[in-house]
């Protein structure tokens, strides 16, 4: 997918699919599969406290699950719309240990 398509993803997929993306994983027909995949990743990670970088975090649902587990999470996405919804989801969930940022991870400074 071209970067401009990633930036405008929510605008391009239509309202129905955008609502599903915003409310993931529970709005997805593949909810169990998505949660199983995240569970598998958590199983492989060292336990918190630990810092995680979630590249291409989208609407932040994975970042939120990692933060609820106790990790300090930085979520990065190229789409301002995605990060806007990630921050709204963070506020709704009252999660403090996440920072969200609009960035192109191919051009990030990893200092």
- How many whole angstroms separate alpha carbon 111 and alpha carbon 107? 12
The DSSP result for 15-64, as a single string, is HHHHHHHHTTTTTSTTHHHHHHHHHHHHHHSPPSS-EEEEET-TTSHHHH
pTM as predicted = 0.89
CATH number of 3-105: 3.40.50.150
Helix (H, G, I), strand (E, B) or coil at 99: strand
- Give residue-wise pLDDT tens across range 38-58: 999 999 999 999 999 999 999
> What does the pLDDT read at residue 111?
66
- Give residue-wise pLDDT tens across range 2-26: 899 899 888 988 888 888 888 899 9
Domain boundary assignment for the chain: 3-105
């Amino acid at each position: 997918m071209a970067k401009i398509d990633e930036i405008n993803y929510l605008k391009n997929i239509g309202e129905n699919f955008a609502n599903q993306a915003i409310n993931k994983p529970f709005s997805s027909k593949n909810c169990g599969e998505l949660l199983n995949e995240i569970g598998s990743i958590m199983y492989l990670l060292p336990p918190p406290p630990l810092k995680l970088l979630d590249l291409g975090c989208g609407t932040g649902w994975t970042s939120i699950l990692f933060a609820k587990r106790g990790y300090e999470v930085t979520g990065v996405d190229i789409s301002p719309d995605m990060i806007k919804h990630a921050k709204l989801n963070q506020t709704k969930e009252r999660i403090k240990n996440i920072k969200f940022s609009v960035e192109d991870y191919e051009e990030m400074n990893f200092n």
